[in-house]
Amino acid sequence: MGAGACMLCSLIDRANEGNHQTVRLCECTTYLEGGELTSMVNFAKLVSCCIASNFEGNALIAIKEALNDSEGVLISWDVNLLDPCSSWRYVTCDGQKHVIAVSLALLGFSGYLSSQIGNLTFLQTLELQDNLLSGYLPSELGNLTQLLSFNIHNNSITGSIPNSMSHLSKLKYLILSNNSLTGGIPIGVAEISTLLKLDLSHNHLKGNIPEVAFEIPEYSFADNQLSCDTNKPCILDNHAGIKVGAQETSVKKLNLPAILGGVLGGMLALTVCTGLILKFGNCYGPHMQDTFVDVAAEDDLKISFGQLKKFSWRELQTATDNFDEINLLGQGGFGKVYKGVLGDGTPIAVKRLKDKQDSGGLAAFLREVDMIGVAVHRNLLHLIGYCATPERLLVYPFMANKSVAYQLRERSEGMGVLDWRHRKDVALGAARGLAYLHHHCNPRIIHRDVKAANVLLDENLQAVVGDFGLAKSMENQNTYVTTFVRGTLGHIAPEYLSTGKSSVKADVFGFGIMLLELVTGQSTIDFARLNEEDDVFLLDHVKKLLREKKLNAIVDPSLQQYIAQEVEELIQVALLCTQPTPEDRPTMMEVVKMLVGEGLAERWEEWQQVEYIRVREYEMMPQRLVDGMDSTMNQEAIELSSGR
């Protein structure tokens, strides 16, 4: 195709100048596989390709500038390389090189959302939650007719909800909570028939709530100045069970005890929902149904899978050489994972689920796939596709750098050591991925097996949390009771092991243990330690060395260079995460903040004061009571320098 194609792309580029545009190299020529411009079909394909790439690249550059990226988080968004699908971080593309997801949560941006967002017309997922964004929601959001999920929770957005958003006919999740939005709720938005969740809580909205909004499976309008134009009781949050009498014309700010009371009351009605393929759906009523929020019954399979590919079993059998054990990458609680190569040469990882026909049926599996596909985040393993019959198979991208556990303890001789900078990046990336699962996924998810072996590394050694899609989806409860304990000994939180109660705080505990793996390079259980001490578990071993003030003995000996202060801070976060009482542990959102230097010193100081009191109380106990206590209590308070 050669010079003619390059010249054409160049002309198109210049025609679009003035919008951050530069003359590109001929990325688009790859679509024609080296063919010549000998037909109008090829010519039309090339023009379409060049224009699409320019528009999306330009839009993302404009978005970057508007976000005020002072820390250089989006440095890979290069104005000179206007192919966002090549190497731009936080951007996901489909097979046709269209941008389908932009995931920019928890990155500290302080600007505004550019109107150029409207040019990403293939976008399905837009995640901007937990930043410092201000300004208005641009009306151009209405151009995103393929959008499935939009989350801008916990920013400082002002102005009204654009009426144009009523054009988002495929939207499932709209999360605008914890902002400063004003005006009313556009009836066109409430009438979007595909909506599964609408959260407008904690804003400054006024007027009537459209009656059709109460038909949405999950909604929240709490903490606004809204009223209900209906003679029925006004339920502002259909999962907290908070009602305001019909005679009241406005809604006052809800207090925390009322909310907690509603949540706790609702949790008493929960039925124990178990299974290997764990369902996220309706657990209420006299007859428990294996249904999800977006499908009414097993024969109703109207599920939108976006860009997920449905593979045939034969295709994946061929890709993995009939699931040859030579291609086995690993195995866990849900099954084995095999390396495979598709017919076009694309390397993949295929998870072969242990129970080939689970009790939930085909519909439950497909809904689980639908949920996994919507969970798009740069630090979560992205699902490529699936196979439903005759076996349940999930297809993921192949990670050549394997897992953190492999890099720490199983790497081949001669391979480079994972240096300290990358270990810190892994800690922060994994924390962000888990924070997304706990706080922003729809529905929220408990991982239940957080460990170094389940954190994979991409080609840039960035952390990608895997094996999360088959964990228990949390819906709106924070605790899940199971008849079996899933996880790995040494990573399992004590309350989960003893009671079977799984919660987000159990994940926090596992994450804390993983931090110790990063610092020490050691396994969580090592019976060889019995030769020198009584501590088999890594957590106990680290605490022992800290009491003996042997910080250097804790650090992985293969690390040639590290910063002692940063090591101490990571250990501090690990100890805060692994406190015996779940309520004392931070949330993953708080962990993310501590890892970037926000609030660690204060939290650590508070923890040390509590530890000091605990040790004093222990010392004052009668000896007969001391003898009956766990030996782990017989220790001095752990001391580390305060976090900066």
- Classified as helix, coil or strand, 480 is strand
Of 330-344, 374-388, 476-490, give the lowest mean pLDDT range.
476-490
Which letter does DSSP use for residue 406 in this model?
Answer: I
Q: Which tens digit of pLDDT belongs to each residue from 424-443?
A: 999 999 999 999 888 887 67
C-alpha 141/C-alpha 418 separation (Å) is: 42
C-alpha 447/C-alpha 33 separation (Å) is: 42
C-alpha 262/C-alpha 389 separation (Å) is: 42
Residue 331 has what pLDDT?
79
C-alpha 534/C-alpha 204 separation (Å) is: 58
Which letter does DSSP use for residue 410 in this model?
Answer: I
- Of 531 and 391, the one with more pLDDT: 391
C-alpha 140/C-alpha 572 separation (Å) is: 45
Determine contact, residues 240/260, Cβ cutoff 8 Å.
no
368: its two tokens? 């689980």
Measure Cα distances from 410 to 29, 330, 358, 418 in Å.
42, 13, 33, 12
Determine contact, residues 157/181, Cβ cutoff 8 Å.
yes
The amino acid at 14: R
Return phi, psi of residue 151, to 5°.
-130, 115
- Maximum Cα–Cα distance across the chain: 94
User: Length of the chain in residues, anyone?
Assistant: 644
C-alpha 241/C-alpha 225 separation (Å) is: 18
Q: Long-range contacts of range 18-27, CB-CB < 8 Å, 24 or more positions apart?
A: 19/58, 19/62, 20/58, 20/61, 20/62, 20/65, 20/79, 21/54, 21/58, 21/82, 22/79, 22/80, 22/82, 24/53, 24/54, 24/81, 24/82, 24/83, 27/53, 27/82, 27/83, 27/86
User: 């072969």: which residue's tokens?
Assistant: 352
Q: Mark residue 610 as left, alpha or beta (left: phi above 0; alpha: psi -120 to 50; beta: remaining).
A: alpha
Q: Mark residue 536 as left, alpha or beta (left: phi above 0; alpha: psi -120 to 50; beta: remaining).
A: alpha
The domains of the chain, with CATH numbers, are 309-397 (3.30.200.20), 409-633 (1.10.510.10)
595: its two tokens? 């890892």
C-alpha 285/C-alpha 573 separation (Å) is: 42
- Of 483 and 446, the one with more pLDDT: 446
Determine contact, residues 468/447, Cβ cutoff 8 Å.
yes
643: its two tokens? 């976090």
Q: How many percent of the chain have pLDDT more than 70?
A: 69
Q: What number is the average pLDDT over the span 358-370?
A: 69
Q: Which tens digit of pLDDT belongs to each residue from 520-547?
A: 999 888 777 766 666 778 898 898 888 8
**The one catalytic residue among 449, 467, 507, 556:** 449
Which letter does DSSP use for residue 136 in this model?
Answer: P
Residue 289 has what pLDDT?
29
* Torsion sign (Cα): 583, 584, 590, 591: negative
pLDDT at 233 over 70: no
The amino acid at 36: E
Residue 638 has what pLDDT?
59
610: its two tokens? 């509590």
Residue 179 has what pLDDT?
93
Q: Which helix (H) or strand (E) holds 587?
A: none
The closest of 429, 417, 434 to 457, measured between CA atoms, is: 429
Measure Cα distances from 462 to 241, 426, 643 in Å.
41, 6, 25
Confidence of residue 249 (pLDDT cuts 50, 70, 90): very low
Active site residue 94: no
Q: Which tens digit of pLDDT belongs to each residue from 83-120?
A: 788 778 889 888 788 899 999 988 889 899 999 999 99
Determine contact, residues 217/193, Cβ cutoff 8 Å.
no
- Of 465 and 478, the one with more pLDDT: 465
Determine contact, residues 539/514, Cβ cutoff 8 Å.
no
Q: Which tens digit of pLDDT belongs to each residue from 564-616?
A: 999 999 999 999 999 988 999 999 999 999 998 888 988 988 888 887 777 67
Compute the CA torsion angle 420, 425, 430, 436 (nearest 10 deg). 160
The answer on whether 356 is annotated among ligand-binding residues is: no
Q: What number is the average pLDDT over the span 217-222?
A: 88
